[in-house]
Structures are given as structure tokens and as C-alpha cells.
């Protein structure tokens, strides 16, 4: 059996480093916010579609009741918000708990735009936590208090993106450790 050369495979896409991806996006969008917004909405819908497949595999045909949304300040956070909006359109009785490790004031413009649209369409189903650094309650205590004891059907992680530079810093490091330790999460998806 012989396989085609990689150069002959039309369906393959190049794998880019974060830096190469930033350059590619810069050249593709050229600062056109409308194109970026269109791409973000397409990504969010695609994430929701794939999440539905993953959820069915993990949970069967049971409806989603509780989503945990981890929202970073960059476009992956916006992608996650848009994906969650599509999921709530499919599961109108679901509730979403959103955690903002960097707060709301640091969100990029299109992430704010996606959050605004989500609040307009599903505001009564949303709860928010903006992590407080230096609080007497550590990140773990804030998360435990916010989530309570309910099971989480799906966790969408939109915290980190192309501009992430190691190492993880507080409070994101503690948030990831805390969420990774939660056994109540049925399905986990990172928006990378």
C-alpha cells in the first residue's frame, strides 16, 4: 500500500506557530473588525456544533442543564461566548455560569460585543464571576462558592489563546487547577 506525499494532499492545512498565526490573521483581516467579527461568529458556531457531538458521545441524548464558561480577555473568550449562545439556543432551559479570570475591563472589543449579544439574547440564564485577586477568599474558594454543588454538563474553556506566554500566572493558574480538579464536570472542551 502506498500513501500520497504530503505535498499531494489537498485537504491538509499547514500547522502554524502562534507567531505565524498572528501574522496570518493580521494579513487576512488587515484590521477589518467586521471580518474579524464574522470569523469569530463562524468559529463560535463551529465550536458549538462540535461540542454537541462531543456531549452526545459523553452524555448521550440528555439535554444540557449547566454550562461553565471560562472567558479570557482575547478572541478565544469571544468564541466560547458565541458557542455558548448557540448551545443555549438549542437547550433553552440551560443555565450558564461565566468566569472572567482577568475581569471585564480587560476584555477585547469583540469579546465585549459577544458578551453584550449574549446578555441581550439570554441574560436571565447567565451568572457571572469576575475573580478577585488578593481577596481573603482564594480562587478555589471563589469558584466553589460560585459553582455550588450542581453537576456541570459542559465546561467551555476560552481562557488562553495565541498570545499566551508561559508560565501560567495567578489567578489563571489557580483557576485552571481548581477547574481541572472538579469531578462534577461531565464534558470539557478547550477553545484553542
Q: May I ask the CATH architecture of the domain 16-190?
A: 3-Layer(aba) Sandwich (3.40)
Q: How buried is 162 (Cβ within 10 angstroms: 0-12 exposed, 13-18 middle, 19+ buried)?
A: middle
pLDDT of residue 12: 60
Kindly list the averaged pLDDT for each block of 10 residues, start to end, along the chain of length 192. Answer: 54 73 82 93 97 91 95 96 98 97 94 98 97 80 93 96 89 95 95 88
Model pTM? 0.89
Alpha carbons 127 and 107: distance in angstroms, whole number: 17
Cβ partners under 8 Å of residue 87, min gap 6: 48, 51, 52, 64, 67, 94, 154
83-100 residue pLDDT tens? 999 999 999 999 999 999
pLDDT of residue 23: 83
* Half-sphere exposure of residue 93: CA atoms within 13 angstroms, side-chain side: 4
**Which residue do the cell numbers 478555589 mark?**
140
pLDDT of residue 142: 93
**Which residue do the cell numbers 498570545 mark?**
163
Give which of 106, 176, 97, 175 is closest to 138, Cα–Cα.
175
pLDDT of residue 165: 86
Mean pLDDT of the chain: 90
The set of cell numbers assigned to 90 is 438549542
123-142 residue pLDDT tens? 999 999 999 776 767 999 99
Amino acid at each position: 500500500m502506498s500513501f500520497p506525499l504530503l505535498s499531494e494532499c489537498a485537504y491538509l492545512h499547514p500547522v502554524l506557530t502562534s507567531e505565524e498565526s498572528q501574522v496570518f490573521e493580521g494579513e487576512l483581516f488587515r484590521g477589518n473588525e467586521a471580518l474579524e467579527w464574522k470569523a469569530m461568529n463562524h468559529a463560535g458556531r463551529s465550536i458549538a456544533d462540535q461540542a454537541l457531538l462531543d456531549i452526545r458521545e459523553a452524555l448521550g441524548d440528555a439535554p444540557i442543564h449547566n454550562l461553565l464558561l471560562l472567558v479570557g480577555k482575547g478572541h478565544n473568550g469571544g468564541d466560547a461566548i458565541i458557542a455558548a449562545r448557540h448551545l443555549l439556543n438549542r437547550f433553552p432551559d440551560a443555565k450558564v455560569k461565566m468566569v472572567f479570570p482577568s475581569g471585564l475591563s480587560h476584555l477585547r472589543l469583540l469579546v465585549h460585543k459577544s458578551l453584550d449579544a449574549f446578555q441581550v439574547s439570554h441574560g436571565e440564564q447567565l451568572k457571572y464571576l469576575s475573580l478577585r485577586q488578593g481577596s481573603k477568599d482564594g480562587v478555589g474558594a471563589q469558584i466553589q462558592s460560585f459553582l455550588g454543588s450542581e453537576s456541570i454538563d459542559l465546561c467551555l474553556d476560552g481562557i488562553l489563546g495565541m498570545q499566551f506566554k508561559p508560565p501560567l500566572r495567578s489567578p489563571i493558574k489557580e483557576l485552571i487547577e481548581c477547574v481541572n480538579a472538579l469531578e462534577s464536570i461531565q464534558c470539557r472542551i478547550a477553545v484553542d
